[in-house]
C-alpha cells in the first residue's frame, strides 16, 4: 500500500460545510449559537435523555460529571483500569482518590464482581465511595444491569464513560444512558468527530444546567463580571458543533460500516488458533469503534508488539490495547481491586487494535488481514 492505513481517522460526509458556512454567514463563531443548540438536541433525541451540554472534550464532561456528583478532596472514586487516562485524570483534578477496578473477560470492561469486592473493602474501612466511572471499551458496553444495581445498593453515583461507544446499545438502550451521567467524546479518532469536543448528558436537569453554568466560567447574571464559584472554559464552539450536526446525520452509517469492517476481520482471522476477538455479549450491540483482538503467545509464539512492528513496516498502523491505569507510573500509589487474575494486564499484554476507519475500503482491510496471516505463518 502506497498510502498508510491508519487506525481511526475522521470521515467527513460533506454535510458539515452547510452548518459551518451558516455559522460564518451569521457570525456565530463563539461557544454559543444555533449549531450548539441543535447539536445538543440531536444527542438528546438520539439517546432519549432529557438534558445535554456540548463541551470542548470528553475529559471536560467527565470532570463536570464528577463535580455534579459532589466529588471533592479525598473522596473515593472507583474507575475502570483498562481505559485511556482521560477517564481517570479528572478524579485527580478534584483532589479525589481513584481506586482502579479490574476488567472481566466477557466484555473487557469493569468486572461487576471486582466492583462488588471493592465496595465491600471500602465499607469495612468505613469509607464512602462517592462515584464510579465505568468505561465502554472500544464501543462495547459494560454489564450495566449488574453495575447499576451495585452502585444503587451502595449509594454511589454512576458515571458512564461512553466516549468510545456512541451508537452502541445494551438491552435495547443507547450507550451513555445507563449512568446518572453519560459522557461522549468527539475527538478526531472517534466514531463521529467535531475535531475535538464532548457531551455531558443526564436526566438530572438541574445538574446539567449547573454544569453548563460552570462550563461558561461560572459567570453570574450581572452586568459586570460576577463570579461566586470557580468556573471553566469548557464550552464547544458553534463552528465545531456545526461539524457535529453533519456527523450526527451519518452516525448510523458510520456504525454500520465499522461493524462491517469487524466482520471482515473476524471471517478472515477468527479461525487462526490463538486469535480471539473482543466479545460482543448477548443483548448488546457494539459500534465496533475499533476492532480489537488478542494473540495467544503460547499457541502462536508471537508477541503483539512484534506483530505491530511488522504491520508498521508494511505501512499499517495498529496499537496495543490501552495500558491499564494501575500500571501507569502516575497512578502507581493508588489501590487496585482484582479477583484471582489480573485480566486487564493480560489484555494489555496480548491485545492489538486494528485499523477501523469507516472510510477504509474492503481491499485495504483485506490487505491488513493478508499481512497478519503472512506474519503468523
pLDDT in tens, 294-305: 999 889 988 999
* 339, 226: one domain: no
Average pLDDT over residues 191-217: 97
Question: Pairing mode, if any, of strands 275-277 and 129-135?
Answer: unpaired
> pTM for this one?
0.97
* 165, 303: one domain: no
- List the domain range (segments joined by +) for residue 337: 251-376
**Spatial CA neighbour of 247 closest among 45, 55, 61, 39:** 39
Residue 214 lies in a domain: yes
C-alpha distances in Å from residue 357, one per residue of 13, 68, 259, 272: 14, 34, 11, 24
**Spatial CA neighbour of 288 closest among 254, 249, 329, 322:** 254
Using the structure block, give the residue that is written with the C-alpha cell 464512602: 128
Q: Which residue among the candidates 190, 207, 285, 371 is catalytic per the annotation?
A: 190
* 170, 22: one domain: yes
Q: At 91, phi and psi to the nearest 5?
A: -60, -40
Residues in the chain: 377
- Cα–Cα distance for residue pair 232/164, rounded to 1 Å: 24
* 302, 367: one domain: yes
Cα 96 to chain centroid, rounded = 21
* 259, 231: one domain: no
The CATH number of residue 107's host domain is 3.40.640.10
The CATH number of residue 371's host domain is 3.90.1150.10
Residue 119 lies in a domain: yes
Q: What local confidence, expressed as pLDDT, does residue 283 receive?
A: 95
* 219, 260: one domain: no
Average pLDDT over residues 59-86: 98
Quote the strand ranges of 94-189, DSSP E: 97-101, 129-135, 157-161, 169-170, 173-174, 181-185
Q: What local confidence, expressed as pLDDT, does residue 241 receive?
A: 97
Average pLDDT over residues 190-199: 97
DSSP assignment, residue 36? H
Q: CA gyration radius for the chain? A: 21
* 184, 146: one domain: yes
DSSP for 14-44 reads STHHHHHHHHHHHT--SS-SHHHHHHHHHHH
* 237, 331: one domain: no
For residue 72, pLDDT over 80 is answered with: yes
331 CB contacts (<8 Å, ≥6 apart)? 88, 98, 100, 325
Residue 1 lies in a domain: no
* 331, 357: one domain: yes
For residue 377, pLDDT over 90 is answered with: no
For residue 1, pLDDT over 80 is answered with: no
Q: What local confidence, expressed as pLDDT, does residue 110 receive?
A: 98
**pLDDT tens, position by position, 122-165:** 999 999 999 999 999 999 999 999 999 999 999 999 999 999 99
Residue 8 lies in a domain: no
**pLDDT tens, position by position, 25-63:** 999 988 889 999 999 999 999 999 999 999 999 999 999
Q: Which of 248, 268, 293 is the last residue of a domain?
A: 248
Residue 113 lies in a domain: yes
Residue 312 lies in a domain: yes
Residue 205 lies in a domain: yes
Domain count, the chain: 2
Establish whether 190 is a catalytic residue. yes
- Cα–Cα distance for residue pair 47/176, rounded to 1 Å: 8
For residue 2, pLDDT over 80 is answered with: no
* 256, 296: one domain: yes
Question: Pairing mode, if any, of strands 97-101 and 336-337?
Answer: parallel
Q: Which of 219, 248, 277 is the last residue of a domain?
A: 248
Residue 369 lies in a domain: yes
Average pLDDT over residues 347-365: 98
Q: Which of 189, 220, 248 is the last residue of a domain?
A: 248
Q: What local confidence, expressed as pLDDT, does residue 309 receive?
A: 98
* 226, 293: one domain: no
Cα 241 to chain centroid, rounded = 19
* 279, 233: one domain: no
- Cα–Cα distance for residue pair 119/125, rounded to 1 Å: 10
Amino acid at each position: 500500500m502506497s498510502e498508510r492505513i491508519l487506525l481511526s481517522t475522521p470521515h467527513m460526509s460533506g454535510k458539515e460545510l452547510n452548518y459551518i458556512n451558516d455559522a460564518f454567514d451569521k457570525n456565530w463563531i463563539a461557544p454559543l449559537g444555533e449549531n450548539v443548540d441543535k447539536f445538543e438536541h440531536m444527542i438528546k433525541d438520539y439517546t432519549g435523555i432529557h438534558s445535554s451540554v456540548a463541551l470542548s472534550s470528553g475529559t471536560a464532561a467527565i470532570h463536570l460529571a464528577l463535580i455534579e456528583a459532589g466529588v471533592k478532596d479525598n473522596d473515593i472514586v472507583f474507575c475502570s483500569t483498562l481505559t485511556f487516562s482521560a477517564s481517570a485524570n479528572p478524579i485527580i483534578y478534584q483532589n479525589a482518590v481513584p481506586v482502579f477496578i479490574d476488567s472481566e473477560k466477557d466484555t473487557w470492561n469493569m468486572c461487576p464482581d471486582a466492583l462488588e469486592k471493592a465496595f465491600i473493602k471500602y465499607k469495612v474501612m468505613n469509607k464512602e465511595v462517592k462515584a464510579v466511572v465505568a468505561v465502554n471499551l472500544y464501543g462495547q458496553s459494560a454489564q450495566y444491569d449488574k453495575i447499576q444495581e451495585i452502585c444503587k445498593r451502595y449509594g454511589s453515583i454512576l458515571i458512564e464513560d461512553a466516549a468510545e461507544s456512541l451508537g452502541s446499545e445494551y438491552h435495547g438502550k443507547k450507550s451513555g444512558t445507563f449512568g446518572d451521567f453519560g459522557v461522549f467524546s468527539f475527538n478526531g479518532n472517534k466514531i463521529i468527530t467535531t475535531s475535538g469536543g464532548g457531551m455531558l448528558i443526564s436526566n438530572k436537569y438541574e445538574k446539567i444546567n449547573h454544569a453548563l453554568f460552570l462550563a461558561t466560567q461560572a459567570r453570574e447574571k450581572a452586568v459586570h463580571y460576577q463570579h461566586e464559584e470557580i468556573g471553566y472554559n469548557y464550552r464547544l464552539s458553534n463552528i465545531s458543533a456545526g461539524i457535529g450536526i453533519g456527523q450526527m446525520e451519518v452516525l448510523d452509517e458510520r456504525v454500520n460500516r465499522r461493524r462491517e469492517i469487524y466482520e471482515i476481520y473476524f471471517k478472515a482471522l477468527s479461525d487462526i488458533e490463538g486469535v480471539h476477538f473482543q466479545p460482543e455479549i448477548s443483548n448488546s450491540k457494539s459500534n465496533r469503534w475499533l476492532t480489537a483482538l488478542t494473540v495467544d503467545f503460547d499457541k502462536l509464539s508471537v508477541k503483539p508488539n512484534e506483530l505491530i512492528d511488522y504491520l508498521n513496516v508494511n505501512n499499517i498502523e495498529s496499537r496495543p490495547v490501552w495500558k491499564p491505569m494501575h500500571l501507569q507510573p502516575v497512578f502507581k500509589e493508588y489501590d487496585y481491586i482484582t479477583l484471582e487474575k489480573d485480566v486487564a494486564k493480560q489484555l494489555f499484554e496480548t491485545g492489538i487494535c486494528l485499523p477501523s476507519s469507516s472510510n477504509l475500503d474492503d481491499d485495504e482491510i483485506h490487505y491488513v488481514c493478508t499481512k497478519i496471516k503472512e506474519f503468523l505463518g
